[in-house]
């Protein structure tokens, strides 16, 4: 057993990681931003974390400062069976945080995967027992409910759903929750919803308040108390190849992601109990 990744031997030795898929079939709702910053906030409290960038757009890879030239072995090769997960893992500039990057080939993977009999479980199989020594794997899903997202949901222990505070948010998330239920029934009975996080909340906009109230009324306790505010520093950070937590630790967006991480950890304790 390889224990090199352990920094604190008193913590969770040799336990398999918890795998959390960050999913919503809508684009632009904050999946990637949440993946990057939650991962960074977890690494900051000495969790060993991996981001798995499963979106062909590769925004999580870019946002964590991974150059195109570093992405030669990426999630595509893992999904298609041309590389093992270990071969695809890259270090980031953040201690305790690694990444499996995305590649443009991933956009064709949905079609290439069709020929595999185990196409719904490619990722689960690839992860296998390769990630002992990690506490959390966060999968940044593409904005669709296709084969890549289904692979993420089948490999995951839990789903975290970012919901943008805008019109039609409730319909989108209801559709996703039905899909999660179907996946649970058909393939992955242990899949749980870690929680729903309201993103890009704008206190000057009445619609934000209304949407937040609706989502809370409908989904109750699974909605985190933490709300991620719309914050320009959050949107600037990716162009610097940094999580906002490093770009501007004090800004409201960073502080919100720190709170979200502590809520996620609290729920993890409850889910494990
Ligand atoms: N809290 C926020 N405040 C301001 N801009 C944000 C916030 N969260 C995300 N964004 C911006 O909104 C856009 C979409 O976010 P992103 O995380 O890429 O969504 P998704 O991965 O769901 O497509 C990006 O340009 C991102 O920088
Ligand atoms: Mg994204």
Q: Is the pLDDT of residue 222 over 90?
A: yes
Per-residue confidence (pLDDT) for residue 170, from 0 to 100 = 87
Distance 30 CA to ligand 1 centre (A): 4
What confidence tier does 14 reach under pLDDT thresholds 50, 70, 90? low
Per-residue confidence (pLDDT) for residue 272, from 0 to 100 = 80
Residues 18, 98: Cα–Cα separation, whole Å: 15
- Mean pLDDT, residues 164-169 taken together: 89
Ligand 1 atom closest to residue 256's alpha carbon, by position in its atom list:
1
- Mean pLDDT, residues 130-141 taken together: 94
**Domain 18-272 is of which CATH architecture?**
3-Layer(aba) Sandwich (3.40)
pTM of the predicted protein model: 0.94
Q: Buried b vs exposed e over 214-234: b needs ≥16 C-beta within 10 Å?
A: ebbeebeebbbebbbbbbeeb
Residue ranges per structural domain of the chain: 18-272
Give yes or no for a contact between 38 and 260, defined as CB atoms under 8 angstroms apart. Answer: yes
Distance 131 CA to ligand 1 centre (A): 28
- Mean pLDDT, residues 111-138 taken together: 94
Please list all protein residues whose beta carbon sits less than 5 angstroms from ligand 2, which is an ion.
31-32, 55, 59
Nearest CA to ligand 1 atom 9: 30
């Amino acid at each position: 057993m390889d224990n090199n990744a352990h920094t604190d031997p008193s913590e969770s030795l040799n336990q398999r990681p918890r795998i959390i898929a960050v999913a919503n079939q809508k684009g632009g709702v904050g999946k990637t931003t949440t993946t990057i910053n939650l991962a960074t906030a977890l690494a900051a409290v000495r969790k060993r974390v991996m981001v798995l960038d499963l979106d062909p757009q590769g925004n999580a890879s870019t946002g964590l400062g991974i150059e195109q030239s570093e992405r030669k072995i990426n999630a595509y090769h893992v999904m298609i069976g041309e590389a093992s997960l270990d071969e695809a893992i890259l270090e980031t500039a953040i201690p305790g945080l690694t990444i499996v990057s995305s590649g443009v080939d991933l956009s064709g993977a949905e079609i290439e995967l069709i020929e595999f009999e185990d196409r719904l479980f490619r990722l689960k199989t690839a992860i296998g027992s390769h990630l002992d020594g990690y506490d959390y794997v966060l999968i940044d899903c593409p904005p669709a409910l296709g084969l890549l997202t289904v692979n993420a949901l089948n490999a995951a222990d839990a789903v975290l759903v970012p919901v943008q505070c805008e019109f039609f948010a409730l319909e989108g998330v209801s559709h996703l929750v039905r899909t999660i239920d179907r996946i649970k029934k058909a393939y992955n009975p242990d899949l749980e919803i870690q929680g729903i996080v309201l993103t890009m909340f704008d206190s000057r906009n009445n619609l934000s308040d209304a949407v937040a109230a609706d989502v809370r009324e409908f989904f109750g306790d699974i909605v985190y108390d933490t709300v991620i505010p719309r914050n320009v520093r959050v949107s600037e950070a990716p162009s610097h190849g940094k999580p906002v937590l490093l770009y501007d630790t004090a800004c409201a967006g960073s502080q919100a992601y720190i709170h979200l991480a502590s809520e996620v950890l609290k729920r993890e304790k409850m889910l494990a109990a």
